[in-house]
Structure 1
């Protein structure tokens, strides 16, 4: 029996078929021998599934058995789509030892996947290893974080030096480490996950449509003793926000507010969630007033403060949006 770890790479596509194929090519060039790749079309409805299937055939990927395509019946969001890959077996029916989740607009440098794999293999209590992420312009993306908290909500919304200094230990996005470092959680754009960890804590909570799903998963794992690491020598280029259209948002979408509320209520209770909402409102108000007085442009999306207020009070369509929580224990490997 081979000691080579079984690695399954997962790339989720939503209406970005050509970009997804670029990500697949980059992943295939970096994948160790024996690793396999699954592409998941998240019910794109724009012909992406056909484009992906034709590309797999034209490039001979499907004949090799190293690349497979999974079609989702509905767009349940980031977590639900990736869960289809996390439930998948290797082509020979065996279960993977590790899963590498890669965004469809992210491209690993050579050696990235192997570096992450080596890190998890020498750190047996590490459940997650995330790579360094930079934009096409070479600018670092912030991808290693502390868990959200009441103080962190206030500091992150206020964005004022004295407040940030006073609450330095609560800053959600501290400076990126330059050496492998244990962090609270890391972004899911390029992250290696130990299968044993998922067997312990379950898969992504599909209540989250987008945002906070990896934060929730890594927090659940941390509470059972698993750690998350940021590994800066593993590097990827990330275009960012291609499938979500975030760059063109006129305002924050309802699902961001819904995911944020679900995260706090689920993991800390309703009272804590209410206090976190108050902290965010207070900080955002300070930021808005400061921008008004100084004439500086706001760093918040248009209508963010009134939308946050209405959502917290359950007013309007966004505030009344109901979500049905799913227990992670109901969805495991």
Structure 2
């Protein structure tokens, strides 16, 4: 049952040591323009649910810390460097405290009324559910194709040949993205989904522990969803829970584009043999070749093909200060 009390009615976030329906983790990096509206949305949700809010700042330089400090009942954790997404989440997990669930949110989200409640209800309705993901709307109010299939060579080849606009009705085996319109209208189990918003059962979060910090940014959620499935739980999509995502909150750059491609290869190499991994890497390179008219794709291709360049990709700037 959802906790109801004076603090909840007032929309205040619960303090350390108190039980929470959800401990919410937000990792920020130069997010001053986004984090305030998100915290306001969470404040409204906290009138119905006991929420603990943990904001991990990865050494922002734009006033993000000052914005968060204006919400004294939110826990601000300064990481002491840019630890990336997984590293930031790991800094927050020891502060999650007693909770039914852990909710991971990007800072550039807006959370619609009842979204958290719908996800909590879905989590409570089936003991097999380890993670709940919502429907995500883009800045135009259109449903974003956030549902994904487990990475495969055929899926990469399909995306390389047809991209995200040509033959959207192609077989699921020929894409990593689920483009089927009906998939976004009903609740069902999925392989994985974009990590912008995901509610994790508390027991699952405690059992799986830290996120894999070998992925500074990108593919860390694929690895986490795989561990959820391997532990016997399922990930469930709940369309009645709606959030809005500005997209691009992590920023864009040639280095990040290359990191995204390389981390896909790194993930496959963790779970497949040498031959399959080499084929997958070649398929990723094919996608960059077909778009090599663009300078960013040419640079990404060079990085994918030269493993020695991987060490120069973005990584954690330094270790976090002790807790």
The alpha carbon displacement at 1:255 in A equals 2.4
**2:54 and 2:118 mapped to 1: Cα distance?**
21
Q: Compute the TM-score of the two structures, normalised by the length of structure 2.
A: 0.81
SS of the equivalent of 2:213 reads coil
Structure 2 residue matching 1:139: 3-state secondary structure: coil
Per the normalisation by structure 1, the TM-score is 0.79
Q: 2:204 aligns with which of 180, 194, 197?
A: 197
- 1:127 equivalenced with 2:136 (yes/no): no
CA shift in 2, pair 1:214/1:231, >3 Å: same
Distance change in 2, residues 1:202/1:323 (3 Å): farther
Q: Please report how far the alpha carbon of residue 212 of structure 1 lies from its aligned counterpart in structure 2 after TM superposition.
A: 0.5
How far 1:120 moved relative to its partner?
A: 0.7
Deviations 1:216-262 (A, max 9, x none): 100111112111111111001111113x222xx35754422342222
Question: Any conservation in 2 of the 1:11–1:39 contact (CA below 8 Å)?
Answer: yes
Which secondary structure does the structure 2 equivalent of 1:256 belong to? helix
Change (3 A) 1:72 1:274: same
Distance (whole Å) between structure 2 residues aligned to residue 155 and residue 103 of structure 1: 29
Quote how far apart the aligned CAs of 1:85 are: 2.1
Cα distance, 1:167–1:303 mapped onto 2, change above 3 Å = same
Q: Which of 105-114 and 13-22 deviates more?
A: 13-22
Residue 13 of structure 1 contacts residue 104 of structure 1 at CA under 8 Å; is this kept in 2? yes
Q: 1:109 aligns with which of 112, 127, 147?
A: 112
Contact between 1:153 and 1:279, CA under 8 Å: does it hold in 2? yes
CA distance in structure 1 between the partners assigned to 2:34 and 2:284 by the alignment: 35
1:151 corresponds to: 154
SS in 1 for 2:177: coil
Matched, 1:304 2:297: yes
Question: Partner of 1:59 in structure 2?
Answer: none
Listed as ranges, the matches of 1:305-324 within 5 Å are: 305=298, 307-314=300-307, 318-321=309-312
- For 1:262, the equivalent position in structure 2 comes to 266
Show the counterpart of 1:139. 142
Counterpart position of 1:9: 24
CA distance in 2, matches of 1:114, 1:14: 27
Q: Is the 8 A contact 1:155 1:164 kept in 2?
A: no
Whether the 8 Å contact between 1:311 and 1:320 is mirrored in structure 2 is no
Match among 33, 37, 43 for residue 53 of structure 2: 37
Q: Hey, what does 1:26 align to over in structure 2? A: 41
Query: Which structure 1 segments of 5+ residues have no match?
Result: 57-61, 290-297, 325-333
* Deviation of 1:305 (Å): 4.6
- Of 97, 105, 109, which aligns to 2:100? 97
Pair 1:271–1:87, CA change in 2 (3 A) = farther
CA contact (8 A) 1:251 1:304 kept: no
Q: Structure 2 vs 1, CA of residues 140 and 13 (structure 1 numbering), >3 Å: closer, same or farther?
A: same
* Alignment partners' CA distance in 2, 1:20 and 1:211: 21
Aligned counterpart, 1:85: 92
Equivalent in the alignment of 2:286: 282
CA distance in 1, matches of 2:313, 2:275: 18
Matches of 1:166 and 1:24, distance apart in 2: 39
| Structure 2 gap segments, 5+ residues each | 4-19, 316-323
CA deviation after TM superposition for structure 1 residue 312, in Å: 2.8
Aligned residues: 294
